[in-house]
Structure formats: structure tokens, C-alpha cells
């Protein structure tokens, strides 16, 4: 099939179109179709290859979010936001990074402090704390810090029915001094589901599907741009080799091992624990920029 034949088919298809309510969607779909038509032509894709690919996507189930992360789409969207903000003169602040597909809305909310783990949760005890601040460094009272992470097997509650609802998930309102604090356990890294759609694609590309240990956050406050980010646990072997490209400078805080009895007593811990101190610095909301509240399908408890 020649390029001329591809162009003729595209022209025939577009010739059947009438004015529609959303010209933007029409233009985007036509561009995607055009690019895929030319890909089929350039690589001489057979009918069997085409239907194998289509069936694969149709059978990928709930892994679309992992596929989007693994193929770099989610990181690309972050880069575009970063560059738009830089062009508008915005600099500094806590770096954003990908949300991933494992957020669950409705986690229990508390003020100042939350405990994410239950007694007996496997893992090294962790206390993480800090301040949510605006661009001038002022603490933000009543900011909402939503936090979620995996357990010792790399599994997330809600998606793992063996865990209690909202295990290792909480929402924390900052106190009068803009502070948040939570107790949990250090998460571990994990891999995409073996044999799943994402695993199959990555192996075809000669890539692995491992993520370093990390903790996810949404941070929101009145008059501020929403921050979607995650911190990574220093020392993880995949720290800078994340299949989802989410590790960024400024998001790998020090993990201090606390063993002083006075410190243990202060934090009401039962013994030595890991300690992370990390502040979230937000940017003021701007009407002239793309919003940071992303519309996407998310799990509901």
C-alpha cells in the first residue's frame, strides 16, 4: 500500500464528517488514526499482528494505568506541566511526579497525625513528618496530605483483598503550624504483575518492570496548586532505574535510623525506627496555567 493510498483513505474518512460540537476531539482522533495508519504502512503490519495488538489491549483489564506509566506517558505529562510552569516564571517547590494507578479515595482523615499501619504490620517502623508551606515559606494550616504506600509484599490495600480497607492509607490535615506526621512501616519496592499486560510489553522492549520503594502523596491547600508526588526510599537498588521514570532529584530524602531512647520515647515508639523529615512546598494557584487537579478514573472504597 502506498502513502498515496493511505492519504486517500484518510481523506475519504474525513470527507464523511460533519461539523461536531467538539472540533478538538475530532482533530485529535484524526491525528491518532493518521499516525497509526502510517505506522501500519511503514512497518508492513499484517492483519494478524493488528488484531493481536488490539485483542491484547482489550484484555489488559485494569493495567492501563501501569502501561501508561511504563511507556512513559505519565512522566511526559509531568514534564509538560513542569515546562509550562517554568515558562510562566515558576521555579522551586517540591517536584511533582506520577500518581500511578493505585490511589483510593476516602481514606480516614485526622489532624496533625495519623497511623497508617496496624499492630503486627510487617516492616521496619517509620515516622515521617514535616511542614506544608507556600511559596514564601509560610506554613499552611489545614492543608490536606493524602498518603498511601505498599506493604512488605509490594501490595496495596483495596487491590489486595487480604489487607484491611485503607491499610497504609490516610488523609492528614496539617495543624496550626502547618505540620503533618504519620507512623507506618518502610515500604518495599515491587514489580508489575508477572505475566500481566505491562510485563508482556516491557519484556518485548527488553525492559524490567521494577519500582523502587516509595510513598505516594497528594498535597492540597486553599489557593495553592495541587501537588502530586512521591518520595523514594534511599538505598533501593532500583532507585534510579524505576520502570515508571518517577524518581527525581529532591524526592529522595535521608532516612535516619533512630535508636536514642529519648527520641524513641518522644515519638512513642516501641524501639528503634526509621525517621524521614520532608517538607512540601506548594505554588500559588494560577488561572493562566493548566490545572493540576487531574480528571481520571480512580478507585472508590
Indicate whether 85 and 52 sit together in one domain: no
Query: For residue 212, what is the domain's CATH number?
Result: 2.60.130.10
> What sign for the dihedral angle of Cα 254, 257, 262, 267?
positive
Q: Identify whether residues 31 and 169 lie together within a single domain.
A: no
Q: Which domain holds residue 35?
A: 3-64
Mean pLDDT throughout 64-76? 96
Same domain, yes or no: 13 and 85: no
pLDDT of residue 170: 98
Angle ∠(259,263,267) on CA atoms, nearest 5: 115
When the pLDDT of each residue in the chain is averaged and rounded to a whole number, the result is 95
pLDDT tens digit string along 2-12? 777 878 888 88
Could you give the 3-state DSSP secondary structure of residue 274? strand
Note whether 32 and 131 are same-domain residues.
no
Same structural domain, 84 and 59: no
The whole model's pTM is what?
A: 0.93
Asked if residue 294 and residue 156 are part of one domain, the reply reads: yes
Dihedral over alpha carbons 296, 245, 249, 96 (to 10 degrees): -10
**Mean pLDDT (whole number) for 17-33:** 87
Do 244 and 283 share a structural domain?
A: yes
In three-state secondary structure terms, 169 is strand
Q: What is the pLDDT of residue 116?
A: 98
Residues 172, 273, single domain; the answer is: yes
* Cα distances (angstroms) measured from residue 246 to each of 86, 217, 238, 255: 19, 13, 11, 19
Helix (H, G, I), strand (E, B) or coil at 57: helix
Amino acid at each position: 500500500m502506498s502513502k498515496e493510498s493511505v492519504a486517500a483513505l484518510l481523506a475519504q474518512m474525513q470527507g464523511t464528517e460533519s461539523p461536531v460540537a467538539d472540533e478538538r476531539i475530532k482533530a485529535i482522533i484524526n491525528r491518532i488514526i493518521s499516525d497509526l495508519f502510517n505506522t501500519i504502512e511503514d512497518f508492513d503490519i499484517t492483519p494478524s499482528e493488528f488484531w493481536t495488538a488490539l485483542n491484547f489491549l482489550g484484555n489488559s483489564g485494569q493495567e492501563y494505568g501501569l502501561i501508561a506509566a511504563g511507556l512513559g506517558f505519565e512522566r511526559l505529562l509531568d514534564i509538560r506541566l513542569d515546562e509550562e510552569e517554568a515558562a510562566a516564571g515558576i521555579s522551586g517547590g517540591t517536584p511533582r511526579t506520577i500518581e500511578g494507578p493505585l490511589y483510593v479515595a476516602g481514606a480516614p482523615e485526622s489532624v496533625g497525625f495519623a497511623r497508617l499501619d496496624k499492630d503486627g504490620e510487617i516492616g521496619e517502623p517509620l515516622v515521617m513528618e514535616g511542614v506544608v508551606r507556600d511559596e514564601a515559606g509560610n506554613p499552611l494550616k489545614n492543608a490536606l496530605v493524602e498518603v498511601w504506600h505498599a506493604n512488605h509484599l509490594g501490595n496495596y490495600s483495596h487491590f489486595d483483598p487480604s489487607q484491611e480497607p485503607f491499610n497504609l492509607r490516610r488523609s492528614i490535615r496539617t495543624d496550626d503550624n502547618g505540620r503533618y506526621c504519620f507512623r507506618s512501616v518502610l515500604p518495599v519496592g515491587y514489580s508489575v504483575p508477572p505475566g500481566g499486560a505491562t510485563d508482556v510489553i516491557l519484556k518485548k522492549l527488553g525492559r524490567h518492570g521494577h519500582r523502587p520503594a516509595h510513598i505516594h502523596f497528594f498535597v492540597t491547600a486553599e489557593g495553592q496548586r495541587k501537588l502530586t508526588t512521591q518520595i523514594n526510599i534511599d538505598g533501593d537498588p532500583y532507585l534510579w532505574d524505576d520502570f515508571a521514570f518517577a524518581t527525581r532529584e529532591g524526592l529522595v530524602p535521608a532516612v535516619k535510623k533512630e535508636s536514642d531512647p529519648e527520641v524513641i520515647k518522644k515519638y512513642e515508639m516501641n524501639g528503634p525506627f526509621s525517621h524521614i523529615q520532608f517538607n512540601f512546598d506548594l505554588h500559588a494557584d494560577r488561572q493562566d496555567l493548566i490545572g493540576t487537579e487531574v480528571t481520571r478514573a480512580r478507585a472508590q472504597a
